[in-house]
């Protein structure tokens, strides 16, 4: 796997370290010389100093052979242009952009970026959910955000306590992946009866999730 990272943030540093440890071929295009030197020494990534939205720097970074480009600058416009030039001119099959303004997630997808990551959106939705259901923790979005994995704690007043999963018949079609009860992992079946303080690991569609959370937490 050949990965190109664009940007000067700590995220670039940690991703480079992680990808190198998985034996991916990592090239980073950074603007700041001091950051670039540190990155090169600490991670063994190939570092190119310059503008990651510049065709010449992207070619120098081997974009024509790259499998994925990840643009992580603090400027949405730079992330967009880096991804567009990489995919449309240099044929990089997959491009991922950090979006700082969450409204730009939709915009970037319309303009040809394969994937977007919005820190503002992610943190915002975690806080929104916690504000609604204090017994719910969203663990991570998977399958490009089509599914959420979350952990639900059943409070004493939960309408689900005492019911079997079959009786419960979650309206939002979430899947109960496992139940943690007194630090024991239980593989759930239809006749598994829910108890107070059970922790359920749910896999759900984000827009259907709230139905099931209401059924579980009240």
Residues forming contacts to other proteins in the complex (CB under 8 A) are 53-56, 75-78, 80-81, 84-85, 88-89, 101, 103-104, 107, 110-111
Q: How far apart (Å, rounded) are the C-alpha atoms in residues 104 and 118?
A: 9
Q: How far apart (Å, rounded) are the C-alpha atoms in residues 69 and 82?
A: 8
Between 95 and 104, CB nearer to other proteins = 104
Q: Starting at the edge strand that comes first in sequence, how are the strands of the sheet with 2-6 ordered?
A: 46-49, 25-30, 2-6, 68-71, 94-98, 115-117
Q: Give whole-number Cα distances, 147 to 63, 174, 181, 218, in Å.
A: 31, 10, 24, 22
Between 47 and 81, CB nearer to other proteins = 81
Q: How far is the CB of 8 from other proteins (least distance, A)?
A: 16
Q: How far is the CB of 109 from other proteins (least distance, A)?
A: 11
Q: How far is the CB of 71 from other proteins (least distance, A)?
A: 11
Give the residue carrying structure tokens 């079959």: 166
Between 53 and 192, CB nearer to other proteins = 53
Between 17 and 109, CB nearer to other proteins = 109
Q: How far is the CB of 82 from other proteins (least distance, A)?
A: 9
């Amino acid at each position: 796997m050949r990965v190109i990272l664009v940007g000067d943030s700590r995220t670039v540093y940690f991703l480079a370290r992680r990808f190198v440890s998985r034996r991916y071929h990592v090239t980073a295009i950074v603007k700041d010389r001091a950051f670039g030197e540190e990155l090169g020494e600490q991670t063994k990534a190939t570092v190119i100093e310059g503008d990651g939205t510049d065709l010449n720097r992207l070619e120098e970074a081997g974009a024509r052979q790259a499998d994925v480009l990840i643009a992580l600058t603090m400027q949405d416009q730079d992330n967009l242009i880096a991804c567009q030039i990489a995919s449309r001119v240099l044929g990089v099959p997959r491009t991922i952009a950090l979006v700082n303004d969450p409204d730009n997630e939709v915009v970037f997808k319309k303009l040809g970026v394969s994937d977007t990551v919005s820190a503002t959106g992610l943190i915002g939705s975690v806080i929104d959910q916690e504000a609604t259901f204090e017994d719910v923790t969203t663990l991570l979005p998977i399958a490009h955000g089509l599914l959420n994995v979350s952990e639900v704690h059943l409070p004493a007043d939960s309408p689900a306590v005492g019911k079997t999963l079959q009786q419960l018949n979650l309206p939002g079609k979430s899947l109960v992946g496992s139940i943690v009860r007194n630090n024991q992992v239980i593989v759930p079946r239809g006749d598994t009866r829910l108890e107070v303080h059970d922790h359920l690991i749910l896999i759900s569609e984000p827009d259907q999730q709230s139905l099931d959370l209401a059924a579980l937490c009240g």
